[in-house]
């Protein structure tokens, strides 16, 4: 696995360093970590891509690229509670698959808020935001998408009752203008979803996902001369899947839920989700965004990646590479929190960048996190802020600089779902302070180790290291000493989707429970 990781990193660096349109190795995923259900649009020479966000706030991260490979996070579409109510949301609920489209100077994002309102869309003239308040929609089913036809009409597709349904809507008000009509139920795979419409060479093409977002996930396609059908299925379906003899040994699995895009040079591509398996049949990083070339000649069915399975390294003719601005993930040194930071549900009070008391005669800035009475497991607007784990191997350090009266515990969490997380924290009770490592695995809480601290902590260092197989947890009671004490470790597989469930992936963050606030020093995240 170390050898494979080295090769992937090396090829990724080579790809991103190149600036010529030649045969290169495409490195998947293009956006690693918890970035499922990608949708993309091209405006001039710019690409914009959005992902699902489920129970996290702000929601629907939006990325910008010039070449479909190098991406910069430019914001989150849903950044206000009025746009994104997440009461009671878990990683089974919240924001499902969004679609982004552009028409006559306006960007549209349409999606589903499971448990808090259903289908809606928002609009803007600037993809970096701000976006409008929600425009609620009548036709339900998940994974809604938009199509703006040549006659100026706007159509919506989604999947109520496991059937892809079409209706015309008013894109300004969301009002449904025609009854919903059935288009296609797919090829027989379960959960026909993720519909997208395209028009090419006189045909309307309907791309969907089938099989569930697991091993049997796949893309299938049908077409018709008329937008309301009837649609005929591609005789060579599925269009894309790794659930086949040729793809069964690939690290990437669960390939599906995709969106076509045509580049300015006329080439066609598809973005889609997949997950990387580790230690056998486990994935803990979540479903990630991948890319593949599409051959789509006039009047014939599209072919993805020459009909071959998807791999982490694929040779293909790339667009001229244009690296994007590099942003240090988790940085708080610039006086504000970047768009990569997310909370669980709607935080009762947002985290703040604050100036910390000096412990080394230097100005220091950190995060003030206001505690919640809810634990991470209780999941009632818990106090948590973190970033997506995008790298297989990493080092993460922070320091607990202050605990106000009323805070029961505060620390670091490796978080998959409310019933699956590993927490390294400082506990405060009548007997004093202690450092604790605890796992929550389904309905079981396991305190791995607890050590009393000798004095009231002025600064307690907290560290988690990951090599792709295990998370290891350390603490340091004195900032000036380089003596880290290891409390324990946990296999990555135990925090995988296969073990603890959920639709997301690991996030790495800070949390505080009780009343008052906790202050953390800089959040230092590095590749190993």
DSSP letter string, 42-101: EETTEEEEE---BTEESEEEEEEESSSSSEEEEEEEE-STTT---TT--TTSEE---EEE
Q: Is 37 a catalytic residue?
A: yes
Please determine, for residue 11, whether its predicted confidence score (pLDDT) is greater than 60: no
Residue 339 half-sphere exposure, CB side, CA atoms within 13 Å?
Answer: 16
Q: Looking at 37, 259, 423, 519, which residue is catalytic?
A: 37
Give the pLDDT mean for 7-33.
63
Q: Strand, coil or helix: what is 243?
A: coil
Ranking 131-140, 361-370, 444-453 by mean pLDDT, the lowest is 361-370
Between 11 and 74, residue with greater pLDDT:
74
**% residues pLDDT > 70 (the chain):** 92
Classified as helix, coil or strand, 228 is coil
- Rounded to 5°, angle at Cα 17 from 11 and 23: 65
As a whole number of angstroms, the distance between CA 68 and CA 61 comes to 16
Burial class (CB in 10 A: 0-12, 13-18, 19+), 488: middle
What DSSP line would sit under 363-422, residue for residue? --EEEEEE-BSS-TTTTSS-EEEEEE---SSEEEEEEEEEE-TTEEEEEEEEEEETTEEE
Mean pLDDT of the chain: 92
Q: How high is the pLDDT of residue 5?
A: 47
Length of the chain: 528
Contact between 30 and 291 under an 8 Å Cβ cutoff? The reply is yes
As a whole number of angstroms, the distance between CA 268 and CA 294 comes to 5
Which tens digits make up the pLDDT trace of 298-352? Answer: 999 999 999 999 999 999 999 999 998 877 788 776 678 999 999 999 999 999 9
> pLDDT higher for 330 or 97?
97
Task: Tell me the pTM.
Answer: 0.94
Least confident of 265-269, 333-337, 353-357: 333-337
Which three-class secondary structure state does DSSP give residue 273? strand
What band does 183 get if pLDDT is binned at 50, 70 and 90? Answer: very high
Q: What is the number of alpha carbons within 13 Å of residue 455 lying toward its C-beta?
A: 7
pLDDT at site 17:
40
Of 67, 143, 168, 193, which residue is the catalytic one?
A: 193
Q: Please give the average per-residue pLDDT across 25-42, as a whole number.
A: 97
Judge whether residue 2 has pLDDT over 50.
no
Residue 10: per-residue pLDDT: 45
| Residue 449 pLDDT greater than 80, yes or no | yes
Q: What is the mean pLDDT of residues 43-57?
A: 98
- Tell me, letter by letter, the H, E, C secondary structure of 418-443: CCEEEEEEEEEECCEEEEEEEEEECC
Residue 159: is its pLDDT beyond 50? yes
Give the confidence band of 280 by pLDDT, cuts at 50, 70, 90. confident
pLDDT of the residue at 333:
63
Residue 200 has phi, psi (to 5 degrees) of: -155, 130
Among 63-67, 349-353, 455-459, 485-489, which is the least confidently predicted range?
455-459
DSSP 283: -
Is the pLDDT score of 211 beyond 80? yes
pLDDT in tens, 488-503: 999 999 999 999 999 9
257's tokens: 């839920």
What is residue 358's predicted lDDT score, i.e. its pLDDT? Answer: 57
Residue 146, C-beta contacts closer than 8 angstroms, at least 6 positions apart: 99, 101, 108, 110, 121, 154, 155, 156, 171
Residue with the bigger pLDDT between 478 and 28: it is 28
Q: What is the mean pLDDT of residues 169-186?
A: 98
User: Worst-scoring range by mean pLDDT, 42-46, 222-226, 354-358, 403-407?
Assistant: 354-358
Q: Are 511 and 369 in contact (CB under 8 A)?
A: yes
* pLDDT the model gives residue 156: 98
CB neighbours (10 Å) of residue 370?
A: 18
Check residues 315 and 16 and name the one with the higher pLDDT: 315
Q: Provide the pLDDT for residue 391.
A: 96
pLDDT for res 9: 45
- Residues of the chain above pLDDT 90, percent: 83
φ/ψ bin of 521: left (φ > 0), alpha (ψ from -120 to 50), beta (otherwise): beta
Out of 27-41, 319-333, 399-413, least confident range = 319-333
**301: Cα within 13 Å, side-chain hemisphere:** 19
Reported as a pLDDT band with limits 50, 70 and 90, residue 512 is very high
Taking the C-alpha atoms of residue 191 and residue 161, their distance in angstroms, rounded to an integer, is 10
> Residues 77-84: what's their mean pLDDT?
98
Which residues, at least 6 apart from 45, have a Cβ–Cβ distance to it below 8 Å?
66, 264
Q: Average pLDDT for residues 252-256, to the nearest whole number?
A: 97
């Amino acid at each position: 696995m170390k050898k494979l990781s080295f090769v992937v990193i090396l090829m990724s660096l080579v790809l991103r360093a190149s600036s010529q349109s030649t045969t290169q190795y495409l490195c998947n995923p293009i956006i690693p970590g918890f970035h499922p259900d990608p949708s993309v649009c091209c405006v001039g020479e710019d690409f914009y891509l959005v992902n699902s966000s489920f129970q996290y706030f702000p929601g629907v991260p939006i990325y910008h690229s010039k070449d479909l490979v190098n991406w910069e996070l430019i914001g989150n579409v849903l950044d206000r509670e009025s746009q994104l109510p997440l009461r009671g949301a878990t990683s089974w609920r919240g924001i499902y698959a969004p679609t982004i489209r552009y028409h006559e100077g306006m960007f549209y994002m349409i999606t589903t808020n499971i448990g808090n309102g259903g289908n809606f869309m928002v609009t803007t003239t600037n993809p970096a935001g701000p976006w409008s308040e929600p425009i609620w929609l009548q036709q339900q089913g998940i994974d809604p998408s938009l199509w703006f036809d040549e006659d100026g009409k706007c159509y919506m597709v989604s999947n109520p009752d496991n059937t892809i349904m079409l209706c015309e809507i008013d894109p300004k008000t969301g009002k449904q203008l025609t009854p919903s009509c059935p288009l296609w139920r797919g090829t027989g795979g379960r959960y026909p979803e993720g519909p997208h419409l395209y028009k090419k060479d006189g045909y309307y093409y309907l791309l969907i996902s089938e099989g569930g977002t697991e091993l049997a996930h796949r893309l299938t396609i049908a077409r018709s001369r008329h937008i309301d059908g009837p649609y005929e299925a591609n005789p060579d379906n599925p269009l894309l899947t790794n659930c086949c003899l040729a793809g069964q040994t690939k690290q990437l699995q669960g390939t599906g839920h995709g969106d076509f895009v045509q580049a300015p040079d006329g080439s066609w591509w598809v973005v889609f989700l997949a997950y990387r398996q580790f230690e056998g049949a486990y994935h803990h990083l979540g479903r990630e965004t991948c890319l593949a070339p599409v051959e789509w000649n006039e009047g014939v069915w599209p072919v993805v990646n020459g009909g071959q399975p998807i791999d982490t390294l694929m040779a293909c003719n790339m667009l001229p590479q244009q690296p994007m601005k590099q942003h240090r993930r988790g940085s708080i040194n610039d006086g504000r929190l970047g768009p990569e930071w997310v909370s669980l549900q709607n935080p009762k009070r947002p985290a703040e960048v604050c100036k910390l008391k000096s412990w080394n005669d230097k100005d220091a800035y950190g995060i003030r996190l206001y505690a919640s009475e809810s634990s991470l497991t209780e999941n009632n607007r818990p106090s948590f802020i973190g970033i997506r784990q995008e790298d297989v191997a990493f080092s993460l350090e922070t320091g607990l600089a202050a605990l106000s009266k009323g805070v029961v515990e505060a620390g670091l969490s490796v978080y998959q779902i409310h019933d699956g997380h590993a927490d390294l924290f400082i506990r405060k009770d009548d007997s004093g302070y202690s450092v604790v490592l605890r796992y929550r695995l389904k309905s079981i809480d396991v305190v791995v180790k607890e050590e009393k601290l000798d004095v009231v902590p002025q600064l307690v260092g907290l560290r988690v290291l990951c090599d792709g197989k295990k998370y290891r947890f350390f603490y340091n009671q004195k900032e000036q000493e380089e003596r880290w004490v290891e409390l324990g470790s946990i296999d990555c597989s135990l925090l995988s989707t296969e073990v603890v469930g959920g639709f997301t992936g690991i996030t790495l963050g800070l949390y505080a429970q009780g009343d008052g606030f906790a202050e953390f020093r800089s959040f230092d995240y590095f590749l190993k």
